[in-house]
Each structure stands twice: as structure tokens, then as C-alpha cells.
Amino acid sequence: MLEGKNELVKNYLASIPFDQRLYSQDLRGSSVHAKMLAKQGIIAQDDAEAIIAGLSSIRKEIEQGEFQFKPELEDIHMNIESRLFEMIGDVAGKLHTARSRNDQVALDIRLFLKEEILKTIEELKSLQSSLVGLAEANKDVIMPGYTHLQQAQPVLLAHHLLAYFEMFQRDKARSYDCLERVDVLPLGSGALAGVSYPIDREFVARELNFSKVSTNSLDAVSDRDFVIEYQASAALVMMHLSRLAEEIILWSSSEFGFIQIGEAYTTGSSIMPQKKNPDVAELTRGKTGRVYGNLMAILTTMKALPLAYNRDMQEDKEGLFDTIDTLHSSLKVFAEMVKTIKINTGRISQATKADYILATDLADYLVKKGLPFREAHRVVAKLSEYTINKGKNFHELSLGEYNDFSPLFAKDVYNITLESSVAARDIVGGTSPQRVEAALTRAKELIEEKYEKPN
């Protein structure tokens, strides 16, 4: 409580401007706590019913915009408790029996994060679905694959898009994994040492849908690993979004021209009327930095805190809320933007003819004729240099020119094409049409998988 403090200190210490966002979780946890106290005979049943009814009325006030949040009451917990006193009198004081604000806030954040992780998973699925839709609609398109942003080998466009599907699949797995560690009930730990009342923590866990109960009271009130883990997981999601954003930006440029983004997801220039700037992709790339910053902030806050609770830990929420909001909005807008992308197959086809992306296939050809790979690599390197100097592509060379570099070249060298190149990569994880078709089928199955809560 902040009575007697000057306005500067009150405003500095108050967390209500941001932790009022936890009102629903705080009310839910308090209602179950009151129910448990009555079940255990710690407070009277009539008192518990009055408390629960009062909390229900407070919920309505908040959701109807009628509740007055007061900074001098410091946080969401005291704002709700103060209003409960106004509604039902001194009975409200019984609600805080066998509870501290330390385990109360830990409960609220865990309840909140459980909900947000499940939302994140659904948003990841939605983005995956958009990627699969774009891949399936263009599964026969062959494009240049790149290393060092230099053309390397031909791949199916669908194979390239499904690489991002795999990234987001790992993000989903991390989210599920994070959810398991968030899914631990801290309530009942008290301020730090546990409580001296005969509470039933397992009952509270069941009522609040927690799988486990914390096993050390000191750790339970001072632990923010689950916040850090979510922030780290979110940073990885944003990194993957940023990589995809970078490719969308490049591919939509005049130099590439591989794609067109729907107009709703681009903006014009203030002076250049022809411009369609990929601002959504660019802003996502930019917002990745703020999520990284939030992760570093909470890591730095927690790095030197002695057990148990310290006021530094009030800094766990603003960055978390910002990361959650940024991640949700980025995933949602990307899922919709990807649906609007149109593939310029003509430009992609032109790009595959403009470089020497079949060089590896020529080396493999010589290997199959008996030449050691390193020697085959040397031969094709010289052949590539020759074609560049002559201004030719491989398919324009005569057999005599091929034989100047190796007698192993025969007429069947002309059977090496973009189509034969991708078809040859017919191994698990490869870019052949059969493997990509199987990958699309698997991807759709993974999107439909349901979360099963651990026992």
C-alpha cells in the first residue's frame, strides 16, 4: 500500500497502469481460493459465497468500464480487494487468508500466460496453413535455391516455403514445451515459506486447471523462468518471421519480381506514385528487435536477485505484455498477408535460366561416370568459367566443348534439366516432387494435430 507516499513515489511504485490487464486471472484465482478456504473449514461457507459474489460483481464493473482503478492502491490485487471491502465489508478481509501477494501475482501471470501460449499456437497454425496453401497452389514451380544470396541449385518453390513451415513447427513445439512449465500452481506458497493453514493445493490446481503443484515455496514465488522461456520462444518466432519478411521484401522488389503482395499489405510513397512498399514485412522485421530487447530486459532483471521475492520483479510484466501483443499482431498479419501473395512464375522461370544452377548436377553426372567428386568439381568449375567467358549457358555448349573438359561427357549430358535436377533429389527431406507432395500431406496433418495436456 502507498499511503503516506508523495505523488512521485506513488506513481513510480504503482503497477496498476499495466497489471490491471491481469484482472480476470486475479478474480478467477481469488474465487477458487475462497472456495477452497470454505471447503477446508478455514472460513465460513457464507463468507466464501459473499466473497465470490462480490468478485463476480467486480468483474462486471471492470468489463463494463465502470471500475475505477486507483494508482494509490498500487496494483490489481489491492484495487480489487479495496473494492471488495466497499461491497461486502470486513468479510472481504478473509479472502487473503493463507495467501500473499507474492504467490498471488505468480498465479495471475501463469494463468495469463497459459491462455496466451494457446493463442500463440493457434496463430502459428494459421500461418502454417497459409504457407501450405501458397506452396500447394505453386507446387510445380521451380526456382533458384540460394546460398550467400547467390544462385546455387534449383528447388521447388513449395520446398522453399515448407522450410518456413518447419521453423514454425519447431516454434509450436517450443510453445507446447513452455506451456508444460507454466502449468504449475504456485498459490499456497505464501510470501516465501508456505502457509500455516490446512489448505488443499491440489483442489485449487484442479479448479484452475493446473497439471502440477509447485514443490518449493521459495522457488515458486521468485521463479520467472517461465516468463523468460516464453520471451525466448517468442524471440525465435519473431526471428523466423523476420527471415520470411526479408525474403518477401527481396522477392517483391523490381530486381527479383518473384511475387506480388496484396495491396492491403503494402503502402505507397508520399512523392513516388509507382511505389508499393512492403511495409508490413518491413515493420515485422523491425519489431523483432523490440522482442529481443524485452527478452534481454527480463534476463538482466533476474540475473542477480537473491531469494525470494524482490520488487525488481515488478518489471516482469510490461515487457512480457509488449512481447505478447507484438507476437500476436505479427503472426496474425503475416497469416493474412501470405494468403494475398501472387507468384510471378515467368520471372522465376527467367531467373533459373540466368545462372549456372545445374553445375552441381554436372559434377554428379561425372561422378556417376566414375570420376572422383573432387576431380568432377574441378572439371565443372573450369567448365563454368569457360561458359561465363563465352557468354553461354550449359545447354548451349556443343558436345565437343564439353569433351574439351572431360571425355566422360556424352550426349546424355543434355538430359540434365531443371526438372531432372529436382527429381533427382528424391530422398527424405529433398526437393523432388514426390517428396514435396509427401511433405505437404504431412504438413496438413501436423496443422490438425490437437494439444494433449500432460498427465
Q: Which residues are catalytic?
A: 148, 269
Answer yes or no: are the C-beta atoms of 116 and 179 closer than 8 Å: no
Answer yes or no: are the C-beta atoms of 446 and 169 closer than 8 Å: yes
215 Cβ contact list (under 8 Å, min separation 6): none
In this structure, the strands spanning 212-213 and 184-185 are: parallel
Secondary structure element (H or E) that encloses residue 215, with its range: none
User: Residue 453 and residue 455: Cα distance in Å, rounded?
Assistant: 7
The answer for 188, left when phi > 0, alpha when psi is -120 to 50, beta otherwise, is left
Q: Tell me how crowded residue 286 is: count the other CB atoms within 10 A of its CB.
A: 12
Largest Cα–Cα separation, the chain: 101
Answer yes or no: are the C-beta atoms of 172 and 124 closer than 8 Å: yes
Answer yes or no: are the C-beta atoms of 87 and 54 closer than 8 Å: yes
Q: Is 437 exposed, middle or buried (0-12, 13-18, 19+ CB in 10 A)?
A: middle
Bridge partners for 184 per DSSP? 212
Packing angle between helix 101-137 and helix 157-182, nearest 10 degrees? 160
In angstroms, what CA-CA distances link 365 with 359, 374, 395, 398, 407? Answer: 10, 13, 14, 17, 12
